[in-house]
Structure 1
Amino acid sequence: MLASTSQLVLRNIEDLSGKVLLVEPAADSLAQELIHQAPQLELSCYSTDTAVATNWQHSNVKLYTDVSPNFTDTFDTVVLFYPKSKEQLGFTLAQIKTAIGQQTQLFVCGDNKGGIKSLSSHAGKLGLSANKLDNAKHCLWFSLFGDFSQLADISASSFTISTAGESLILHSLPGVFNHGKLDTGTALLLDNLPQVSHGTVLDFACGCGVVGAMLKRKHPAIELFSSDISQLAVKATELTLAANGLSGRVIAADGLPDTPKLFDCIVSNPPFHTGIKTDYSIVESFIRQSAQRLAKHGSLTIVANSHLAYLELLQQAFKQVEVVAKANGFVVYRAH
C-alpha cells in the first residue's frame, strides 16, 4: 500500500527526470512503482529510517543511510518528504546540499496534517523560496529553490539534566524524539528504573540515549545495548554515551536487535507513531518480541501515556505485570 505522499509523487511523476534522489520517503512500495512506471529514471534514496532503507535496498536502488552522506555527484531531481519535525527540514537540506547542483530541481511533498502548509514561511526562514504546484490526496507538492549551498551545517545540540540522583550530558539531533529536552514520560521512567546490577540490558527506541546512559551510570557492570530505528537517534546516543564516558553498543534496528539473543532487562519509552499516524502495532510487536527475548527472571519496564491500553497487552504476554508509578498523565509498567 502506498502512503498518500507517495501517491502524490506518482501523480507528478512527469516532474521527475534523470538521476533522482528520494529523501526520507515512507516505508511503502514507492520504489517498485517508480521502477515500473518510469524505468528510465536513475533512482537513489537517502533515508535515516532503518525500515525504509531496508525496503529500498530490496529494490536494488542506490542507498545512502549515513546521517552525513557522502554524495560524489549532484542529481537532476531531488524529492524531499516533509519531516514530522519542522526543525529537521533545515538539518536534512544541509545534509544533502552537496547533492544539489545549479540545475537540480527540488520538490517537497508532505501530508497536510504534517505541517506542509507552512512550507513557504519555513523556507523563507532558511533563505529559500517555495512554490505550490499540486494539491491532492490531502497532500501538497511544492518546488523549492534558492541557494542551498548557503545552508549552515547543524551539529548536535547538547544539554544537561539532573535527575534520579545523577547528572548527565545529553546530545540530540533534529528528528530525534523530543529533540533538545527531556520529556515528561521519560523523566518519570528515569525515577523508576529497574535495579539491575549486571547482565545484558537493552534501551529500546533509545532516542538521545538518556535511559541507557542513566542505567549504565547507576550500574556500571551491566552490558548496555541501545537500539533505535532511526540513524539520527543512533548517532545522538553514541554522542551521549561518549560525552559521559560510558560504554555501550548502539544498534540501528527495526524492532529488537538480532543480538544478543536474550536480554536480562529491557527498558523503553516505546513509540506509538509511524510518521504522523498513531500505530499501535509497533508496541504490540515490541511487547511480544520482548516476552520472547527476555532471559529467565528477566523484566520489561516501559513508560506510556496513561490513556494507552498497554496493561492488557502486557498481561497477554507476561505472567506478572505491575504498575510501578503514575504521574502527570504517564504510567510506568514492569512485567516479568
Structure 2
Amino acid sequence: MSHDGALALLFPFLRAQSAPALWVLDEHGGGPGMPSPNRAVTVLSNRIDVTEEMQAAGWVVQFSDFDFAPWPAGSLDAIFFRVAKEKPVVHHVINAAAERLAPGGRLLLSGGKQQGIKTYARHAAERLGGALDFRKMGNEYLAVIRCGDQRGAALDERDYATLRPVISDGALSYLSKPGLYGWDKVDAGSALLVAHLPECAPQQVLDLGCGYGYLSVQAWHRLQPPRIVATDNNAAALLACRANFAAQGIVGEVIGADCGAGVDGLFDLVLCNPPFHQGFGVERDLTERFVASARRHTSAQGQALFVSNAFLPLEQVARRHYAQVTTLANDGRFRVTQMLP
C-alpha cells in the first residue's frame, strides 16, 4: 500500500482515542507510518487486502460492505474516515455516523480539496447537527464534526445497501449496487473483451477482479464451462457477483481474495479487466500484480485475456510472464490483449 497524506491526518487522533470508535477504511489503508493498534478502535473495511494487512498489524477488523449493524445507535464516541471516491459510500458513512455516534461524539473526515472534502464536511455537519472544525493541513484537509442532539435529514446514499437490477445487456440483466466502480453500467472495456472471447469452450474459467460479475455471466452463457470461478477483494463486488450467479443459475464459485491470492488450481481461460485506477491515483504495481497472478493461474495450454486502457503498457509487462502476447483489439480507448504461456 502506498502512503496517503489525507489518511495520515487521522493518525494522531487514532493514537489518542480512548473510548469506543470505528476507523472506516476502503482502498486507503496500510503502508508506511500506520499507527500501532488501539484496542478502543475497531477497523471496518470493505477490502480484503486492507483487512488482512490491518489484522496482521494487530488491529481488530470487521470485513463487510460497510455494514454498521453490529454497533447500536449512540454506542460510538468517534468515527474516522478518509473520504472515498464514490459519493454514495461517503454519504453512507456519514448517515451511519449520525445514527451510531453518541451526542458529543466526533466524525473525523480527511481528504483533498479536489475530492469534495469541503462539501462532504458541510453536509456532515448538517446531518449530525453539530459544530464543524475545518482545518487545512498542507495540501490536505481535516474536518472534525461534533454530533449534536438534533440530527438533520439523511444524505442521499442511493439506497446503498440494496442490490438492484440496474444494468441490461441484450437478453441479460445484472444486479449491482453503489460502492462498486461503474456499478450502474456495462463497462465499455469489458464489452470489448467479451466480443473477443474464444470460440473453443474452456473447461475452467477464472474471472480475476470480477466486480459485479459481468465477464463471468457472459462467459458462462457463451462458453458453458464446467467450472467458473470469480474473485474480487471488494465486499460489494462479492455480494453482487454472488447474487448474479444465483439469479442466472450459474453453478460457480465466488471467492474473496486479493488479486486472486486465495484461488487454487489452473484455468484454461483467465479473464481480467483490472482496476488499474484505484482511489484517486494510479497504483503503480497493479499491472504487474494482476498479470503475474493471471500467469500463476493459467494452464499450460490455456490463455489469459486482459482489457486495459489503450495507453497503458500492458504488453510490456505481459511479456515478462507469458511467451506470446498479442493485441486482439484496440478501439483507441481500450485494448484487448491475449497472453499465451
Answer yes or no: is the 8 Å Cα contact 1:169–1:243 preserved in 2: no
Aligned to 2:288: 284
Answer yes or no: is the 8 Å Cα contact 1:184–1:328 preserved in 2: no
Q: 2:53 aligns with which of 52, 55, 59?
A: 55
Distance 1:123 1:69, change over 3 A: closer
Name structure 1 gaps, 5 residues minimum: none
Distance 1:127 1:104, change over 3 A: closer
Aligned to 1:245: 249
Structure 1 distance, partners of 2:199, 2:314, is 22
Q: Which amino acid aligns with 2:111?
A: G
Aligned to 2:331: 327
Aligned to 1:28: 30
Q: Shift of residue 321 of structure 1?
A: 1.4
Return 122-131 or 215-224, whichever deviates more.
122-131
Deviations 1:206-250 (A, max 9, x none): 111100011111222331111111111111111222222222211
Aligned to 1:162: 169
In the alignment, is residue 142 of structure 1 matched against residue 143 of structure 2? yes
* 1:71-150 mapped onto 2 (5 Å cutoff): 71-73=70-72, 74-94=75-95, 99-120=100-121, 123=124, 131-144=132-145, 145=147, 147=151
Return 89-98 or 293-302, whichever deviates more.
89-98
Q: Which amino acid aligns with 2:178?
A: P
Structure 2 distance, partners of 1:115, 1:46, is 22
Q: Shift of residue 289 of structure 1?
A: 2.4
Aligned to 2:179: 175
TM-score in terms of structure 2 length: 0.86
Q: Shift of residue 314 of structure 1?
A: 1.4
Cα RMSD for the two superposed structures = 2.8
Q: Give the secondary-structure state (helix, strand or coil) at the position aligned to 2:119.
A: helix
Q: 1:45 aligns with which of 32, 43, 46?
A: 43
* 1:181-260 mapped onto 2 (5 Å cutoff): 181-260=185-264
Q: Give the secondary-structure state (helix, strand or coil) at the position aligned to 1:33.
A: coil
Q: Which amino acid aligns with 1:268?
A: C
In the alignment, is residue 262 of structure 1 matched against residue 266 of structure 2? yes
TM-score in terms of structure 1 length: 0.87
Runs of 4+ in 1 over 6 A off after TM superposition: 124-130
Q: Give the secondary-structure state (helix, strand or coil) at the position aligned to 2:9.
A: helix
Q: Shift of residue 310 of structure 1?
A: 0.7
Q: 2:316 aligns with which of 295, 312, 316?
A: 312
Identity across aligned pairs (percent)?
Answer: 21
Structure 2 distance, partners of 1:34, 1:112, is 28
Structure 1 distance, partners of 2:165, 2:94, is 21
Distance 1:195 1:149, change over 3 A: farther
Q: Shift of residue 331 of structure 1?
A: 0.9
Q: Shift of residue 46 of structure 1?
A: 0.3
Q: Give the secondary-structure state (helix, strand or coil) at the position aligned to 1:235.
A: helix
Structure 2 distance, partners of 1:80, 1:18, is 17
Answer yes or no: is the 8 Å Cα contact 2:202–2:269 preserved in 1: no
Q: Give the secondary-structure state (helix, strand or coil) at the position aligned to 2:320.
A: helix
Answer yes or no: is the 8 Å Cα contact 1:7–1:137 preserved in 2: no
Structure 1 distance, partners of 2:225, 2:18, is 55
Distance 1:290 1:173, change over 3 A: same
Q: Which amino acid aligns with 2:50?
A: V
In the alignment, is residue 295 of structure 1 matched against residue 302 of structure 2? no
- May I ask how many residue pairs the two structures share in their alignment? 329
Distance 1:103 1:129, change over 3 A: closer
Answer yes or no: is the 8 Å Cα contact 2:167–2:185 preserved in 1: no
Distance 1:121 1:242, change over 3 A: farther
